[in-house]
Amino acid sequence: MRLILLGPPGAGKGTQAQHLVQRHGIVQLSTGDMLRAAVKAETPIGLKAKDIMASGGLVPDEVVVGIIADRIEESDAANGFILDGFPRTVPQAEALDRLLKSKGLALDAVIELRVNEGALLRRVENRIAEMKSRGETVRADDTPEVLSKRLESYRAQTEPLVDYYAEKRKLATIDGMKAIDEVMADIKRVLDALSESAKASKPARRKMARRAAAKKSAAKSGKANGRVAGKVTRKAAKSAKAKVAKKPAKRPAKTAVRAKAAKKTVRSKVAPAKKTRKSAKSAAKKAKKAVRKSSVARSAARGGRTATTAKKVTKRRAKTPKRLTKRG
């Protein structure tokens, strides 16, 4: 499990982190603790961080990111970790994302402990009083003045992480003003719900993975045929184009020839009809003529009139006055 505990100084992140370490067997990675150790050991980082920490400011991003990158590499962090006091700025959160991604890891949740600043100041004052009464050394930055400065830098630089992780759907906000046990119980509920949904979504994830694998293999075989998931590949598109280019060149030619032949056939079929009609007309004319000729010829043969005499007779008749009286 990989968690981030987010909240202003004095919100109880350290206390809750220790409890989670016991329950889940994961390590607590506190940049504050590491920096304090470095200050104590007077390492170059410690010397650099000492004054900044004492004033309540933030140690440069690259310093803390470097510390976390090294710490995550250690074997005890392989099982999971709780980040306490890191990230404190958006660039630190982005660096953490890159770091985890490069290792193929992901965050499970970011738990924000929301507290009331006035109550927080009273808490810090009580703690200082208790430590002093027990004879313990009080942290240099554990004064109301420094706490005000730390709260200021929290609001300005760390609070934007609430939106940052909310957008990534990683954020769970818990009321940090409740009693320690109640806060613990609330965190437990969040983590239980998280593991339940992870379990429930396991078969769904497997199903999705199977579908994705099937799609992939279908796409692969499709690729072999020139098709990928319904999309025509460049190769297939090229060959399809080539086919399209070839076909019209052949088919229209054939079609044109056929069309021409069909036209001819139609014409040849229509033409005889026309001819027949024409020839029928002329044949009728010829027949009429022939009939006329033959009747004249027949009457001539009977000693009758020829066509010319018939004409002459008709003329004469026309000249002769019509009979007024009946033949006797």
Active site residues: 13, 88, 127, 139, 150
Name the packing angle between helices 44-55 and 31-40 (round to 10°): 120
Give the one residue of 20, 59, 72, 109 binding ligand AMP; rule: CB under 6 A: 59
| Cα separation values, 48 from 34, 43, 85, Å | 13, 8, 18
171 binds ligand AMP (CB under 6 A): no
150 binds ligand AMP (CB under 6 A): yes
31 binds ligand AMP (CB under 6 A): yes
**3-state DSSP assignment of residue 177:** coil
Name the packing angle between helices 144-153 and 44-55 (round to 10°): 100
> Applying CB under 6 A, which part among 16-24, 54-62, 187-195, 251-259 lies near ligand AMP?
54-62
Nearest to 95 by CA among 155, 164, 44: 164
| The two structure tokens encoding residue 28 | 């607590």
164 binds ligand AMP (CB under 6 A): no
Quote the least distance from Cβ 220 to ligand AMP, whole Å: 46
Q: Select 57 or 226, whichever has its Cβ closest to ligand AMP.
A: 57
Please tell me the number of Cα atoms within 13 Å of 244 on its side-chain side.
6
16 binds ligand AMP (CB under 6 A): no
147 binds ligand AMP (CB under 6 A): no
Give the one residue of 81, 86, 164, 165 binding ligand AMP; rule: CB under 6 A: 86
In order, the DSSP letters of 107-150 are: --EEEEEE--HHHHHHHHHHHHHHHHHTTPPPPTT-SHHHHHHH
53 binds ligand AMP (CB under 6 A): yes
> Applying CB under 6 A, which part among 56-64, 177-185, 203-211, 252-260 lies near ligand AMP?
56-64
CB atoms within 10 A of CB 36: 18
Q: Select 100 or 310, whichever has its Cβ closest to ligand AMP.
A: 100
Q: Select 16 or 92, whichever has its Cβ closest to ligand AMP.
A: 92
Q: Select 64 or 110, whichever has its Cβ closest to ligand AMP.
A: 64
Q: Are 106 and 73 in contact (CB under 8 A)?
A: no
Q: Are 15 and 180 in contact (CB under 8 A)?
A: yes
71 binds ligand AMP (CB under 6 A): no
88 binds ligand AMP (CB under 6 A): yes
Binding site for ligand AMP (CB under 6 A): 9, 31-32, 35, 52-53, 56-59, 64, 85-86, 88, 92, 141, 150
